[in-house]
Amino acid sequence: MSLRACLVLALLTGLAGLSLRLAMPVTPVDQDYRDVVAFYRAMPVGSGH
């Protein structure tokens, strides 16, 4: 594949992603997800898990 074809494909992929992002609403974060994030934030740094 030539460099020009790869560039065109990359631009088209980026435009498709941007158009999907603008067309579809963002799903709001629910309480269960917030609980998981808070759990991992409370873990000490470097615990390995």
Residue range 1-49, pLDDT digits in tens: 799 999 999 999 999 999 999 999 888 889 999 999 999 999 888 766 6
Q: Which of 6, 4, 24 is nearest to 14 (CA)?
A: 6
Separation between Cα atoms, residue 35 and residue 29, nearest integer Å: 11
Token couple for 1 = 């594949």
DSSP 8-state secondary structure symbol assigned to residue 26: P
Structure tokens at 46: 């470097």
Summarize pLDDT for 27-37 with one digit per residue, the tens.
888 999 999 99
